[in-house]
Amino acid sequence: MNYKKLISAISDELKVLEDKGKVASYIPELKKIDPGKFGLHIATVDNKSYGLGDYNEKFSIQSISKVLALTLAFKIDDNKLWDRVDVEPSGTPFNSMIQLEYEKGIPRNPLINAGALVLCDVLVSHLKNPREEFIEFLRNISGDPNIDYCYKIFESEKQTGFRNAALINLMKSFGNIKNKIETVLDFYYHLCSIEMSCKELSQVFLYLAAKGVHPATKIEVVSPSKSKRINAIMQLCGFYDEAGEFAFTVGLPGKSGVGGGIVAIHPGEFSIAVWSPRLNKKGNSYKGMRILEFLTSKTESSIF
Nearest CA-CA partner of 117 in 165, 173, 62, 174: 165
Q: How many other CB atoms sit within 10 Å of the CB of residue 292?
A: 24
Q: How far is the CB of 64 from ligand GLN (least distance, A)?
A: 7
What is the amino acid identity at position 31? K
**Is residue 258 a contact point for ligand GLN (CB under 6 A)?**
yes
Task: Give me the DSSP letters along 60-102.
Answer: E-GGGHHHHHHHHHHHHHGGGGGGTS--S---S-TT--HHHHH
d(CA 235, CA 80): 22
Backbone angles phi, psi at 155, to 5 degrees: -65, -45
Contact with ligand GLN (CB under 6 A) among 257, 260, 277, 288: 257
Q: Which is nearer to ligand GLN, 69 or 208 (CB)?
A: 69
Q: Is 192 in the site for ligand GLN (CB under 6 A)?
A: yes
Q: How far apart are CA 304 and CA 295, in angstroms?
A: 14
**CB atoms near residue 236 (< 10 Å):** 19
Choice from 59, 94, 137, 239 touching ligand GLN (CB under 6 A): 94
Rounded to a whole number of angstroms, the minimum distance from the CB of residue 50 to ligand GLN is: 26
Q: Which amino acid is at 220?
A: E
Output phi, psi for 279, to 5 deg: -105, 150
285 lies in the site for ligand GLN, by CB under 6 A: no
Shortest approach of ligand GLN to residue 164 CB, angstroms?
5
Residue nearest to ligand GLN (CB): 63
Site string for ligand GLN, 116-135 (x = CB under 6 A): --------------------
Give the one residue of 283, 287, 290, 296 binding ligand GLN; rule: CB under 6 A: 283
- Interface characters, 141-160, with ligand GLN (x: CB under 6 A): ----------------x---
Within residues 45-64, the interface with ligand GLN by CB under 6 A covers: 62-63
Task: Look at phi and psi of residue 91 and say left if phi exceeds 0, alpha if psi is from -120 to 50, else beta.
Answer: left
By beta-carbon proximity to ligand GLN, the closer residue of 85 and 258 is 258
How many chain residues are in contact with ligand GLN, going by CB under 6 A? 11
Residues that bind ligand GLN (CB under 6 A): 62-63, 94-95, 113, 157, 164, 192, 257-258, 283
